[in-house]
Structure 1
Amino acid sequence: MKKTFMGLKLRRLRAERGLSQTALAHTLGISPSYLNQIEQNQRPLTVSVLLKISQTLGVDVQQFSEDDEARLVAALREALADAPDAISLPELREVAAQMPALARAVLALHRRNAEAAERLEALALRLGDERGGGALPRALPFEAVRDFFFAHQNHFDALDRAAEALAHQAQSQTQAPVRGGALAAWLQQRLQQQHGVHVRHAEGAQADKRRYEPATRTLFIAAALTPSQQAFQMGTQLALLELGEAIDAQIDAPSLAHDDAARRLARIGLANYVAGALLLPYADFLQAAQALRYDIDLLGQRFDVGFETVCHRLSTLQRPGAPGVPFFFVRVDKAGNISKRQSATHFHFSRTGGACPLWNVYEAFGQPDRILRQVAVMPDGRAYLWIARAVSHGRPGWGQPRKQFSIGLGCDIRHAPQLVYAQGLDLNDPGAATPIGMGCKVCDRAQCPQRAFPFVGRALQADENRSWFAPYSA
C-alpha cells in the first residue's frame, strides 16, 4: 500500500488554526513527537490520524487526497510543458504534494498568461480587420464554469438533497414511483400550484426546448421532446423558480465574481443539475446503479432516461458518506471538440485541445449503438477503464439536422471490478492497456505512431538522413 506524506499540508492547517504542535497532538490523541515526525514527512499520514483530523477539526479529508495531488501534477505538467528546461515528473509530484499553494499560484499565473495571449491575439485581429468590432474578450465564460464544476468535483450536495426531497414529494403525493416521463405531470401541477406557471406545448420545427415568459408566467416546452426530456426541462424551470436562492449561494464564488456571463451560465448549469437529480434521485439511483453493476442501458430502462443522462448523473454521485464510483464524463464530436467534461476525481482534461486519437471515444463514431470498452494508461502510469458510445439526437422530421456525439465514461482501474463492463478484461496486465495522453503537444510518448505534433517539452528532432516510424521521434 502506498504511503501518504502530507507534512506541509498538516503544518499549514495547524498554523491556520493557531495551534501549537503540543495542542494539536493533544487534540488528536497522539504524542507531540509523533506529530512532529508526520509534519517533517518522517512518518506517513495514516488513515486513523486523518479521520481524527476530520472529526476534531471539521476538515474535509479531500484536502489530503491523492486525487487532488494528481490533478495538480497533471495541470502543472501541461502548464510547464514549454518551460525552457524540462521539469521531471518526480519534481512536479514533489511540488504538488509538499507545496500545493505554490502549485496553484503557478497555475493561476499560467492562466493569466494564456488569457493575456488570447486578448493580444484578439487585438491583433481587430486592428487588422475593421469588421471585428466589439470589446476585447476576457477569459471564456464556459471555461470558467467548467473549472467551477471541476472544483466542486461535479457534486453540489445541498442542491442534490433538495432535488431528492422534491422527488420524494412527488412519490408520496402520487402514491407510486414517479420516474422519467411519468414525472412530467407532477412537475406541471407543481409549477401551476406553487408558482402560478402555466405549461404549454410548443409545436413546430423551430420551437425552443424550453422558453419561459415571466410576464405571462407561461412555460413553453417543445412538443417534439420525449416525456422524460419534457420532465427535465420542467425540472430546470422549477429549480430556477423554487431553488433560485440556493443556486445563487453556490455561484457566489471568487472564480465567477467578475464575470456576469459566467455566473448566468453557471446558474443554468446548476438548474440542469437539479433537474437531473430530480429525475434520478440520489439514494434510489445509487442503489440501482450498484445493484446493476453500473449497467447504463439497464439504468436508462429503469429510470426512463437516455444513455447520456445516465452517464452524466453517474459522474455526480459523490455525496459525503455515500459515494458511488468516481467517474469522469465527456461528450465529444467528430471534430474532437469536447463540449462537456465533468470529473468527480483526479482525471485531467487538456486545455490545449487536440485530444488523443487512441482514446476509444473517437472510435465509437465508427460503431454507432455499440458500447466500446478500453483499458487505457496515461503517461504518469495511471490506468483507467473507459466505455464509449456514439449517440444521435435532434428534431424529428425530414431534413431536420441531427447532432451526433460520442459519450465517454471512465473510472480509475481500481474501481473497474464494480462495473459490468470489466467482465472478461485483464485489469492487471499493464501491457494490455492502450497508451493515451492529454494531447500530442503535452504528451511525451516519443514512440506514438499517431503523434500529430511534437511534444513541446523536448527539442524538435529533425534529421534529413533519417525517417522514423513515429513522427518527431528521437
Structure 2
Amino acid sequence: MPVSQRQLGLRLQRLRQRHGLTQAELARRLGLSPSYLNQIERNQRPLTLAVQQRLKDTLGEIGGLLDRDDPAALVDPLEDTLRALGHTAVSPTELRALAGNLPQVANALLDLHREHRHLQERAAALELQLGGSHGATPLLSPGDHVRDHFNRERNYIPELDERAEALYAEHGLTPDTLAPRLRQLLADRHGLRVRVDGQAGDKRMYDAATRTLWLPAWLQPGQQAFQMAAQLALLEHGTLIDLLIARAGFDDAERIALARIGFSNYYAGALVMPYGEFLRSAEDSRYDIEWLAQRFAVGFEAVCHRLSTLQRRNAPGLPVFFMRVDRAGNVSKRHSSTDFHFSQVGGTCPLWIVYEAFNQPGRILTQVARMPDGRQHFWLARQVSSGPPGFGQPRKTFALALGCDLRHAGRWVYSRGLDLQGGSAVPIGPGCLTCERMDCLQRAFPPLRRLGPG
C-alpha cells in the first residue's frame, strides 16, 4: 500500500542525502527547479508519478520511499508506548507522521521503552525477593505512585469518608433519592446545572464557564449520583483535597491531577455507599456483591472498590484486596485494605481465576490459591463491561478480582461449599517474570533473577 503524500517529504530528503546529493543537484538531474524540489521535501507539493519515475531513472533503487508496511507497523506500538508513559495528547496523525518520516527515531523510542519496562521488571523481581515494598521508586508511573499512596493509607481516607457520611445523614438521603437530591444540592449551593446528554462522552464533563455538569445518558441513576458526588467533592472540599495532596507529597502537575481525581472519586463512593449503612448491609448479606449493588443502585465494580476501603478504626470490614485487569494482563486498578503486596509487574499468572472470568461473562468464579511464599487466599472474579448500550457501540471490558486471606474466607457468601483448609489450593504466582515456581506447567520463561544481566 503506498504511503500518503504527506509522509513523503522527509523520506525523499533522506534518500537524497544517502546519495550525497544537494537539493540543487538532485533538482537539476530531475529537471526540476530547486524551489519545486524544496516544496516536495517540505510536503507542500505532491510527489507525482512522473517525478517518481525520474527518481528511479536517476537514482535506481528507491525502495522504502513508497512502501509504508514497516512504518505503519510502528504506529500501534508507538501509541501503546506513549499511553503507558502517560502521554495521550499525541494524535494518530502525528504518530503516522513520526513513523513515516522518522522511523529510526520511532524505533529508538520503542527500544527505550522496552528497556524501561525491563528495568521495571527487574526492580519488581528484586522487590519481591526482598519481601515487600521499600518505598517509592522512580520507575513507577504517576498513576502507580498515586495508587501506592492510597494503599499505604490502607485505602481509607477518614476525613473524606466522615464528611460524606455526615452529608448523607444530614439530608436524609437514600439510594432512591440520592441522584435527584444531589442535582438539587448542586443547583442550590453552587448554581450548577446537571444536563444529561446522549452525545456526552465518557463519565462526566464540567463546563466552568456555564456552570454545567454534563453526564452521558447511558449512566444509571446510581452512576449519575457518583459523578455528581465527585463534582461536589471538588466544589465543597477542594481545600481539604489540596491538603491531602500536599500531605501525600505530590508536587508535580500530573500526580496532583491524578490524586485530585482519586480523592474526589473516593468521596463520591463514600457518599453513594455511606460507611455505616454500607458496612451493616455487607455484614448482613455476607458480602454479597450483587445484592449490595442492587441495594445501593451502583455497579458491581463500585461495590468491589468500596469493599476495599472499609478500614475505619473502630468498625473495620472484611480486609480485602481488589484488582482490575484486561485480557492482556494489564493491571489498571490495585487497591488493598491489608498488607497484601502488589508487585508492579504482577497479576499475569495464567492460573489465576481472574483470567477465566473473560471466558464466562456474567458468572462469579471462585478460587482458593496459594502464593509462592505459602500464603493462601480466597479469590472471586467476574467480568464487567461499561459504556453506551447498543449494537456496535464501543465498550470497555475488564475482569475484577476481589480476595482476602484464607482465614477470613468464611465471611464470604461465595465460600459456601469450598474447601477452606487449603488442601486443594491452586498454586499461582505474581507472573512468570517474578515467580519462583519452576515446576509450573504454565511457565512461559524463567524468572528474571535467573536470566543474568542485560
**TM-score of the superposition, structure 1-length normalised?**
0.67
Residue 422 of structure 1 is matched in structure 2 by: 415
Q: Which residue of 2 aligns with 1:214?
A: 208
Question: Superposition RMSD on alpha carbons, in Å?
Answer: 2.3
Q: How far apart, CA to CA, are the structure 1 residues paired with 2:221 and 2:362? A: 22
**Corresponding residue for 1:436?**
428
Q: Following the alignment from structure 1 to structure 2, what is the Cα–Cα distance between the partners of residues 408 and 279?
A: 22
CA distance in 2, matches of 1:388, 1:332: 11
Cα shift at 1:140: 2.3
Structure 2 counterpart SS, 1:287: helix
Please say if 1:261 is aligned against 2:254. yes
Corresponding residue for residue 184 of structure 1: 179
How far apart are residue 398 of structure 1 and its match?
A: 2.9
Matching of residue 239 in structure 1 with residue 233 in structure 2: yes
Q: 2:393 aligns with which of 400, 407, 411?
A: 400
The Cα offsets for residues 389-419 of structure 1, whole Å up to 9 and x where unpaired, read as: 1111211233211211111100111111111
How far 1:355 sits from its partner (Å)?
Answer: 1.6
The match for 2:146 is 145
CA distance in 1, matches of 2:219, 2:320: 28
- Structure 1 position 254, deviation (Å): 5.1
Counterpart of 2:196 (choices 191, 198, 201) is: 201
Rounded to whole Å, the distance in 1 between the matches of 2:177 and 2:326 is 31
Residues of 1 paired with 2:376 and 2:365: CA distance? 17
Note the alpha carbon deviations across 1:190-220, whole angstroms, 9 max, x for none.
001111111112222x534211111221111
Cross-structure match for 2:449: 457
TM-aligned CA deviation for residue 163 of structure 1: 0.6
Report the equivalent of 1:155.
156
Are residues 1:350 and 2:340 paired?
no
Give the Å deviation of 1:79.
3.9
Amino acid at match of 1:217: R
- How has the CA–CA distance of structure 1 residues 254 and 372 changed in structure 2, closer, same or farther, with 3 Å as cutoff? closer
2:222 aligned residue (219, 228, 235): 228
Alpha-carbon distance between aligned partners in 2 of 1:198 and 1:435, rounded to the nearest angstrom: 53
- The amino acid that maps onto 1:229 is Q
How far apart in 1 are the matches of 2:390 and 2:257?
A: 32
* 1:368 equivalent in alignment to 2:361: yes
| Cα shift readout 1:294-337 (whole Å, capped 9, x = no counterpart) | 01111111111111111110000001111001111111111111
The correspondence of residues 104-115 of structure 1 with structure 2, limited to 5 A, is 104=134, 107-108=135-136, 111-112=137-138, 115=139
Is 2:270 the counterpart of 1:277?
yes
Mapped contact 2:222–2:296 kept (Cα < 8 A): no
For residues 380 and 252 of structure 1, the distance between their equivalents in structure 2, rounded to whole angstroms, comes to 36
Deviation at 1:421, TM superposition (A): 1.2
Closer, same or farther: CA 208–368 of 1 in aligned 2, 3 Å: closer
Q: Distance in 2 between matches of 1:255 and 1:361?
A: 34
Q: Aligned partners of 1:223 and 1:316: how far apart in 2?
A: 29
Distance across 2 between alignment mates of 1:193 and 1:333 = 41
Q: Could you tell me which amino acid in structure 1 is paired with residue 207 of structure 2?
A: E
Q: How much does 1:374 deviate?
A: 0.4
1:209–1:222 Cα contact (<8 Å) kept: yes
SS of the equivalent of 2:277 reads helix
Note if contact 1:368-1:390 (Cα within 8 Å) is conserved in structure 2.
yes
CA contact (8 A) 1:360 1:372 kept: yes
Distance of aligned partners of 1:82 and 1:304 in 2 relative to their CA distance in 1, 3 Å threshold: closer
For residues 124 and 395 of structure 2, what CA distance do their matches in structure 1 show? 40
| Structure 1 position 164, deviation (Å) | 0.4
One-letter code aligned to 2:428:
I
Measured at CA, do residues 162 and 398 of structure 1 come closer, stay the same or move farther in structure 2, by a change above 3 Å?
A: same
Following TM superposition, the consecutive aligned residue runs of length 4 or more in structure 1 with deviations greater than 6 angstroms are none
Match of 1:309 in 2: 302
Equivalent residue number for residue 26 of structure 1: none
Q: Give the gaps of 5 or more residues in structure 2.
A: 1-120
Contact 1:318 1:344 in 2 (8 A): yes
Q: Does structure 1 conserve the Cα–Cα contact (< 8 Å) formed by 2:156 and 2:310?
A: yes
Distance 1:82 1:198, change over 3 A: closer
User: What is the rounded CA distance, in whole Å, between the counterparts of 1:324 and 1:162 in structure 2?
Assistant: 19
Three-state SS of the structure 1 residue aligned to 2:448 is coil
Report the alpha carbon displacement of residue 182 of structure 1 after superposing the two structures with TM. 3.0
Contact 1:145/1:265 (CA < 8 Å) preserved in 2? yes
Distance 1:450 1:435 in 2: 11
Unaligned runs of 5+ in 1: 1-76, 97-102, 116-138, 172-176, 461-474
Pair 1:167 & 2:159 matched: no
Q: d(CA) in 1 for partners of 2:126 and 2:147?
A: 24
- Structure 1 residue 290, shift from structure 2 partner: 0.6
> What is the rounded CA distance, in whole Å, between the counterparts of 1:293 and 1:318 in structure 2?
17
Which structure: larger Rg?
A: 2
Residues 124, 345 of structure 2: 8 Å contact kept: no
Distance 2:367 2:449 in 1: 28
Deviation at 1:270, TM superposition (A): 0.8
Q: Which amino acid aligns with 1:256?
A: F
Q: Is the 8 A contact 2:124 2:344 kept in 1?
A: no
SS in 1 for 2:286: coil
- Are positions 1:448 and 2:443 aligned together? no
Q: 1:158 to 1:398 in 2, by over 3 A?
A: same
Q: What CA distance in whole angstroms lies between the structure 1 residues aligned with 2:257 and 2:125?
A: 33
